Structure 1
């Protein structure tokens, strides 16, 4: 047995076996089409109404279908009202995650202990279905950074995504070989870039498992990755504030929805009615276990088409759409990670929503929705020049709204200068 897995399991058993209990629950719920979802939904909504200021007036509604759909801008404007009363005095001890998400709205979510344990179990449960066993050495190919201690504990090799050029590919592949990595987890755009380099340079680097996150894994990407790494990639649909919402089947034909720990609805673009199989709709999520900061009917900003519906419940979706980000280039014309553009505003707590676009070879525009008169432009400009080059010209446009595109999405990265 992997030593890190053994250590983790022993620690879990000392905590009354929460991992094994949660894994058993996930297995049972999936095998029996989520029989506990209804009672869990009733419990979390009742808890939220009784303990969370924002949901106090929900007692006036006669049914769950009458509850309004939320997005991050609503939560941003009423932030403290979404933290439940029993946890307000101990908020410093809660697990917190900071995210920007598909709306480009950065702020922090708080998770209670049980919720956090559920998230860990989800990663293990779905990871195992993607040939990723807890504790096995894997590369994490993303924009964020982790401490060396964290990487050691998780048996993780961090490969930070900055510029996706040949130099980055060469260095990354050298690390993968040196560390004998057999599982990749990361952005499909970055992994596809590695796959292209491997193919062009006739490099042999087979993998046992590949999990893509945060972006759409297209059919073309899937084929290129599988051919280069000799392993079919699996797309995981997850978020910092929730956990694993859906996991792609190894066949690549559909995603399994995690209706055990969430109620996931696919609603029409312009109404709160459910869509039929094959119709595009908004992914709206209710978290069944986060009591610290309940999220009820939360619009993720992503879109999907139901693939299977059983007894009125969507159990599978075709894919997650609207998550592929535009490609931004620096002042030299080299591609940079869209997630680094996003990450530059992670600590800008006064920004409610933003949209970043490239308007010229060196010209960039940042549209901002904020309640403040200023958001620290000097620091933001410096952060972007560190990514794009010292000659980058950053313009700001303070707006009241960022309109949705025809698809219903509000992308936070737009390319208006380079056209592929």
Structure 2
């Protein structure tokens, strides 16, 4: 959300000093030059998108990047501009310095920059122009408002990770404050920690939970053990939004019963924003306003509704960086309802394992994003990686790179393991030419071989 932590802290202090309205989420965006009100108005207009207008937006974004972006021009290599013949943009295509991928008149100084989690094993840095970033948030505003959640004022219980030290930690805490959310770190979710978390729900009027599916499932199981729903502890709770991992039918039933509120499935990615989210009727509605979502076969050709294929996403408004027919890394199928609404009918992927450590700690597999992030940057050419738990106390990191990790990089990973997990865990590093994938074709970031 914020491109400059120092500026954000300054603006926040000004707001508090002069007792400005606590619409901090939108105000911080606006103060940093992201036109959120204009984006909200535009998004509202786009709710009436027709198939014809969507086609016009698709053609316009392709023509823009063919005129202003050398990276995309070279990728296309004078091939046909027919939509179905356009190249599929992969994460690996984007694993090169950001400045080589930006459109003319854009630089790191006038765009929003972010870094993907690398949950698919292919981390990269991305960029959006200011309006594209603003309309990304307009999409979230609209989807959340449908559930009577206001991103400016509704208090969120956030079950996510957080950097444990350094600048990253304070940036996340600032974002939490501005976004009116309180964080529940998921690096250790044993019963003692969950007991403390439940106590926090008694003390504050949370309106919604938001977080990793596997983490909230552990919370629900704790509530089941105690025989009391979370809603009982926190009557103000309205909904529970789960994201980043698969939501299986059995887990949904468990969550509905023991969290005690409607469960809302959210599907998105940091580089494109909200892809789909369930509405109050339980329909997994696609974001067709600022994105175009399609399903393709192995030949990159669109498939019919109901057919499972690879999910591609196009950002129709990102002028700074091409995101056209971008392969998100999951499989799914689409469906058109009688009223014309397009929904995500079937989603495959985004599963996450649990790591159990010698001390009794229980950590979600996505914790390893924070471990591997210590060595993932544009200076280290690590293309793919996976963390495998061999025993309770030993792990193997398999990676694909143009060169061996050096000793200092391995020390960074070991220190991150000590910090985010616990000390005295053994880590082995294996450099490979390629990594094994599941039959879905998606590379899991973490897997456990421990029974």
So what's the TM-score if we normalise by structure 1?
Answer: 0.89
User: What secondary structure does 1:176 align onto?
Assistant: helix
Relative distance call for 1:131 and 1:224 in structure 2 (3 A) is farther
- Bigger mean CA deviation after superposition, 77-86 or 321-330: 77-86
Distance 1:14 1:77 in 2: 31
- Bigger mean CA deviation after superposition, 187-196 or 59-68: 59-68
1:281 to 292, 295, 309: 309
**Match of 2:15?**
none
Q: Does 1:271 align with 2:299?
A: yes
Deviations 1:309-347 (A, max 9, x none): 899x99211243210112222234542122221121224
**Match of 1:172?**
197
Q: Does 1:335 align with 2:365?
A: no
- Bigger mean CA deviation after superposition, 152-161 or 202-211: 202-211
Aligned-residue offset at 1:14: 9.4
**Match of 2:17?**
none
**Match of 2:449?**
416
Q: Does 1:295 align with 2:323?
A: yes
- Bigger mean CA deviation after superposition, 23-32 or 398-407: 23-32
Q: Does 1:153 align with 2:178?
A: yes
CA contact (8 A) 2:98 2:125 kept: no
Deviations 1:12-71 (A, max 9, x none): 899999545433443443345454321211121111112222211424324121122122
1:201-220 aligned within 5 A: 201-203=226-228, 204-205=232-233, 206=235, 207-220=237-250
Paired positions, count: 411
Deviations 1:58-89 (A, max 9, x none): 2432412112212212211465432222113x
CA contact (8 A) 1:306 1:316 kept: yes
Aligned-residue offset at 1:130: 2.7
**Match of 1:67?**
86
Deviations 1:265-306 (A, max 9, x none): 1112x3212223332211111111112221111111111122
Relative distance call for 1:178 and 1:333 in structure 2 (3 A) is closer
**Match of 1:143?**
161
CA contact (8 A) 1:255 1:319 kept: no
Relative distance call for 1:12 and 1:157 in structure 2 (3 A) is closer
Distance 2:438 2:32 in 1: 48
Aligned-residue offset at 1:264: 0.9
User: What secondary structure does 2:372 align onto?
Assistant: coil
Stretches of structure 1 that go unaligned for 5 or more consecutive residues are none
**Match of 1:379?**
412
User: What secondary structure does 2:347 align onto?
Assistant: strand
**Match of 2:115?**
98
1:35-54 aligned within 5 A: 35-54=52-71
CA contact (8 A) 1:44 1:288 kept: yes
1:228 to 235, 247, 258: 258
Relative distance call for 1:191 and 1:34 in structure 2 (3 A) is farther
Distance 1:335 1:15 in 2: 39
**Match of 2:371?**
344
Aligned-residue offset at 1:102: 3.3
- Bigger mean CA deviation after superposition, 234-243 or 52-61: 52-61
**Match of 1:358?**
389
User: What secondary structure does 1:382 align onto?
Assistant: helix
**Match of 1:240?**
270
* RMSD of aligned Cα (Å): 2.8
Distance 1:16 1:143 in 2: 28
Distance 1:193 1:321 in 2: 21
User: What secondary structure does 1:289 align onto?
Assistant: coil
**Match of 1:255?**
284
Distance 2:70 2:199 in 1: 53
Distance 2:208 2:247 in 1: 17
CA contact (8 A) 1:34 1:259 kept: no
